[in-house]
Structure 1
Amino acid sequence: MDALPGIIGGAIREVVGIVKCPVALAVNSALSVLAVAGQGVANIKPHADLANPSPLSLYSIIIGMSGERKTSADNFFSEVLNKWCAAKVEEIEPELKKYRADMTRWEAEKRGLERRIEEASKKGDSEAVEVAHKRLILLEREEPEKVYSPDMLMEDTTPEAVAFDLVNKWPAGGVLSSEAGVVFGGHGMKSDNIAKNLATLNKLWEGGQIKITRRTSESFTVSGARLSVGLAVQPEIIRKYHEQNGAAARGSGFFARFLLSWPESTIGTRFISEEEARGGVHSKNQLNLFYARLHEILEQHYQNAKAGKLGNLPTLSLSPDALKTWVAYFNSVEEASARGGDMEEAKDIASKSADNAARLAGLLHLFNGGHVMDAISGETMTAACKLASWYLYEARRFFGEIALPVEDLDAVKLDSWLIAECKATGSNAFSRNHAMRYTLRKADKFNKAMDALERANRVRQVKEGKTAVIEINPALLMEVK
């Protein structure tokens, strides 16, 4: 939270206070909306020798159980996107009606000329064919210019369908989903499609050109498009996906592109007061400021995207302090990726962290009042690097645990809960039944996890009368303090 400056941090704090969800969940919702809007305003290029600037698009995943209130948090942020898009469509309705009428007339003329050519060809009237053909050439040049209407939030669908929508509906969008089917489910991610679809999503993250070749329908090319992704997925689903496709996803750099978080659940602690139930307790001042700024950014986005492509976006520059901070972060991550470093086992994830830090800095700059022609400040880049670093260590923790066998993972979960309980209560011993109730409720799973912890000398089990008690190694509690 300390790394989230200005109205963005203020709005997130207000949502957390109202929804009582994990902080990282509200941050995920907010950053996803910032990226959907901001990716249509500017690019960023922190390294002058890079071939192309980076979009301000973000891919993010939050891992949590069902019931964590992702939808409630999303509604505070993504609903404003839907309302803005609906209002803009209503505003440009006269243009849309004229375009549809012009297009109907143009298509009718085209069909008429095509029929004339066909009929003249059957009669062998080459002169009539030539006249109609010349008119058809001129008509093709007179095709009405398409009027695009903003439709930014996409359904949870296949990567190919997302790419199609970016070409035919609006050139910048976001898949914000609590189902995460675009990545982890559906036929699009079966073994025979996964390589192609991972490549598509990777290319969209980069803002690159993609050619989609179809056998049964018209092929198309995506260029000048932007995509952001904000997903929520349950641990067992992403674990199963990782078991089946993890090598391909990590080998292609797909997971490395994501800001990943796995926060502790707040379920069971989200109590409310009567005053809260009556309403009016929680301020929304920062949220209202956030909405006002988001509208300004969306208007800039609209002007850049209304022609159907985002081809010539301005590139944000870095102040000397911001460049110094970004280079220091880049080098620290590179050093941590070496043999024996913090990121040795997660160097694929670490490889994209500095790029994500730059993207975050660009979004923070724009949404806290910075102009596209202003240089990003050192303070903003420092905040962005803190955020990127936090996500990097979250990813390392998650992939370190997800790679474990299920039995070891259960032991890690139980160990984490026992240490946290010690911190909360000040005690180093708990009844076995109490621990089972709040962790692994099935006896066989609990016993296997306990055996692993006992072998590691982290706990021991004793009897106090008829009560089975778990004692935590006092050395671990000294580490905690």
Structure 2
Amino acid sequence: MSEVIDRTETPKDAARRLSAPALRDGFTPEALHTYSSASMEPIFWRIRLKHPDTGAKWIRPMRRTADGAGYEIGEPPAPPAGKPLYNLHRIAADTAAVVFVTEGEKAADALVKLGCVATTSGGASSASAADWTPLQGRTVTIWPDADEPGAQYGRDVADKLQGIAAEVRLLDVAALGLPAKGDAFDWIAARPQATAANVLALATLPAAPLATPATPTLPLLPVPQALERARALLLPQIDGTDAPYPLDALGPLAAAARDLAEGAQVSPAMAGQSLLAAASLLAQGVANVRTLAGNAAPLSLYALTVANSGDGKDTADRPALRPIHDHQREAGKCHAEDMAAYEDARSQRKKGDPPPEHPGPSPYRIAADLTIEGMRRSFAEGIAAQGIFSTEAGAVLAGHAMTPEQRTKTAANLCGLWDRGHLSVVRAGGGRTERYGVRLSAHLLIQPAALGDVLADEVLSGIGFWPRFLLAWPAPLAPRVFKPWRPENSPAIRQYWADCTRLLSRPLPDDCDGLPVIELDAQATQRMAAFFEDMEQQGRMGALREVQPFALRATEQACRIAGVLACFAGADVIDDQTAVCGAELSAHSLDNWQAALSGKADPAPAWALTLYRWLVERVGWVALKDIPRIGPSSLRTADRRNEAIDRLDALGLVEFDGSNVKAAGVDHARR
């Protein structure tokens, strides 16, 4: 795809260009909201799209590029005072008017159309990051959405306006008769004849100030809970995406994934990720794939699925892995018996007798935890194609292997396994492991709260760790109804199990580098070439600049996915339709990464959490001057250090005397 950005491109044209992938997926434009200064100078824009069939939303910020010549996805860096409010020019233009604060631009626009002055800081979790000083001395009425997040947003705004606004009132939402999640837009839509006078006459409640001290004193917690509290205070909750998962793109896995999603009442994304990761675990020991770059790559996939507790992580994972666990259980039992016979034969061997034949490598394919030493031993003693599959991946990402001190080493080894099937470990006590031709697939299912700061970790981003993962972050499930279901009653899932058994019966080599290579046919090559050029253009100059490392690796992900689907179907060539499937699934992951990482223009919360974790390990006071010398590498500059301390101090997470600092709220005796 070829694209030239015209310097005269309008914001509306740019929004259409940057949202082109979503438009191709069937989303339609709803609005382009302009955030401007009091003098009406544009600061940034927010693009809003909606899918007419599913109701899914696609909302992204858009800013000018650094050279001012074009537009890109993302917010500009926030000023020290905070992010700008919406409609600042309207607030400044009518200093006597009551200012309505809504949750979201759509509701604010609906009030403005009636002649009201209305603003917002954005979504439900945006109040704390905004600059509310433009409402100094004003009378403010907060119109929350009719749900608990809306009520919390109202409380947050009221808290921020204490000492700023002359008067703060909360609209009595309960008296409006709105549906769940209803807002000002819905109220006005139901009353076409409504006027500004009608809005101003609505019943309000006084907004009582929150009894929160300027610097909170936090109760002492054991180290793990204190770290989790700090993460919750510093890092905003990232919501899942409503973008529909392309189930049909799963090819030979599609019918089973659909039955699993519908029968088990889990999200299609979770069902799809579970089956695709399991298929990769088996396919990686059967074949390799020719990528568009011309090299033979492993069919290994790394998958990360983020879902709330109770949304069915185990429910989806168990049927996906059942044939593998069944095989592993039987093979493990036989291997244990063979090893016992082998050891018995060794103990009874007489001088001059030939040595007994070793039973061979351990047959276990799946582990639920991750350490470098564990991987070294597993590949030294076991088969060449293995996997890390965990429905409680918080234990993996918060475990020893992913502590700040170990992350780089762990991530580098995982990257090497994904890239080349190569494991290189030098042990501190002596000895070295160099294992070539091994394969590792992974599926980590995790709750949002357990992610910690790993998504924002600059080291992991710098070495390309997360771009090797296919991400699914589905929206939370709606309330379910009881529906009895057993996976063995689904013909599609029984066929999936039969296909897994067929692949499990194939002998595994000691070196997977020599496996047959699944090639792209001519049409598939053209398809992948077009996808590659689109990703290059979008990643370097267009809508995907904010997630450029992910976009530039998307074509290899697409080739690997297509190779897994072809192998699972018993094909030795990737045809055009399978290439389309690979590209579609890769693009869906990319859309999830963009949604998960959008709005990270302000890195200070991640710096603060990194510093807090480091201070917790130091127990006592640390001199401010020592942090750039011995502290975390991402905080070696004074500006970053000071910004991190300011964020922590404002939340009561540190004690600071001007020259020394220590972590607060931590009971080090309870680890």
Give the TM-score of the pair, scaled to structure 2: 0.50
Say if 1:182 and 1:188, in contact at 8 Å, map to a contact too: no
Distance 2:431 2:458 in 1: 32
Aligned with residue 508 of structure 2, among 301, 304, 315: 304
Distance 1:362 1:180 in 2: 26
Alignment CA distance shift 1:217-1:161 (3 Å): farther
State whether structure 2 residue 285 is matched by structure 1 residue 285: no
Letter in 2 for 1:322: A
Letter in 2 for 1:263: P
Distance 1:31 1:68 in 2: 19
State whether structure 2 residue 432 is matched by structure 1 residue 209: no
Distance 2:431 2:330 in 1: 32
State whether structure 2 residue 261 is matched by structure 1 residue 11: no
Alignment CA distance shift 1:292-1:86 (3 Å): same
Aligned with residue 363 of structure 1, among 541, 550, 564: 564
**Shift >6 Å, 4+ stretches:** none
State the match for 2:279 in structure 1.
34
Alignment CA distance shift 1:404-1:24 (3 Å): farther
> Within 5 Å, which residues of 2 pair with 1:151-190?
151-181=364-394, 183-190=396-403
Alignment CA distance shift 1:310-1:96 (3 Å): farther
Secondary structure at the counterpart of residue 232 of structure 1 = strand
State the match for 2:598 in structure 1.
400
Distance 1:80 1:45 in 2: 28
- Describe the superposition over 1:270-307 as per-residue Cα deviations: whole angstroms up to 9, x where unpaired: 112xxx33x5799500000100011111112xx123xx
Distance 1:250 1:384 in 2: 24
State the match for 1:256 in structure 2.
467
State whether structure 2 residue 262 is matched by structure 1 residue 58: no
Letter in 2 for 1:345: E
Alignment CA distance shift 1:6-1:94 (3 Å): same
Secondary structure at the counterpart of residue 303 of structure 2 = strand
State whether structure 2 residue 327 is matched by structure 1 residue 327: no
State whether structure 2 residue 467 is matched by structure 1 residue 269: no
Say if 1:14 and 1:282, in contact at 8 Å, map to a contact too: no
Distance 1:199 1:14 in 2: 37
State whether structure 2 residue 549 is matched by structure 1 residue 348: yes
Say if 1:3 and 1:387, in contact at 8 Å, map to a contact too: no
Distance 1:403 1:368 in 2: 43
> Within 5 Å, which residues of 2 pair with 1:57-456?
57-90=300-333, 96=339, 98-104=341-347, 144-181=357-394, 183-216=396-429, 218-243=431-456, 246-266=457-477, 268-272=478-482, 276-277=483-484, 283-300=489-506, 303-305=507-509, 308-339=510-541, 341-370=542-571, 374-401=572-599
Letter in 1 for 2:383: W
Secondary structure at the counterpart of residue 4 of structure 1 = helix
State the match for 1:129 in structure 2.
none
Distance 1:310 1:143 in 2: 27
Letter in 1 for 2:273: N
- Aligned CA-pair RMSD: 2.8
- Paired residue total: 360
- Describe the superposition over 1:425-464 as per-residue Cα deviations: whole angstroms up to 9, x where unpaired: xxxxxxxxxxxxxxxxxxxxxxxxxxxxxxxxxxxxxxxx
Say if 2:488 and 2:494, in contact at 8 Å, map to a contact too: no
Gaps of 5+ in 1: 110-134, 408-481
- Give the share of equivalent positions with the same residue, in percent: 25
Alignment CA distance shift 1:30-1:402 (3 Å): farther
Distance 2:346 2:558 in 1: 44
Say if 1:239 and 1:402, in contact at 8 Å, map to a contact too: no
State the match for 2:288 in structure 1.
43
Letter in 2 for 1:331: E
Letter in 2 for 1:352: R
Distance 2:327 2:262 in 1: 25
Say if 2:394 and 2:451, in contact at 8 Å, map to a contact too: no
Higher helix share: 1
Letter in 1 for 2:303: S
Alignment CA distance shift 1:94-1:156 (3 Å): closer
Letter in 1 for 2:563: G
- Describe the superposition over 1:225-261 as per-residue Cα deviations: whole angstroms up to 9, x where unpaired: 1111101122233252234xx1001100001100012
**1:92, distance to aligned residue in structure 2 (A):** 6.3
**1:224, distance to aligned residue in structure 2 (A):** 1.7
**1:262, distance to aligned residue in structure 2 (A):** 1.1
- Describe the superposition over 1:38-90 as per-residue Cα deviations: whole angstroms up to 9, x where unpaired: 1100011123643xx11011111111211111001101111221101223345
**1:100, distance to aligned residue in structure 2 (A):** 3.7
Letter in 2 for 1:293: D
Alignment CA distance shift 1:27-1:346 (3 Å): same
Give the TM-score of the pair, scaled to structure 1: 0.69
Alignment CA distance shift 1:48-1:99 (3 Å): farther
Alignment CA distance shift 1:42-1:182 (3 Å): farther
Letter in 2 for 1:252: I
- Describe the superposition over 1:126-185 as per-residue Cα deviations: whole angstroms up to 9, x where unpaired: xxxxxxxxx9xx99xx68445124211113131331232122122211111122257521
Say if 2:438 and 2:511, in contact at 8 Å, map to a contact too: yes
Alignment CA distance shift 1:49-1:376 (3 Å): closer
Alignment CA distance shift 1:281-1:259 (3 Å): closer
Distance 1:49 1:169 in 2: 30
Gaps of 5+ in 2: 1-245, 606-671
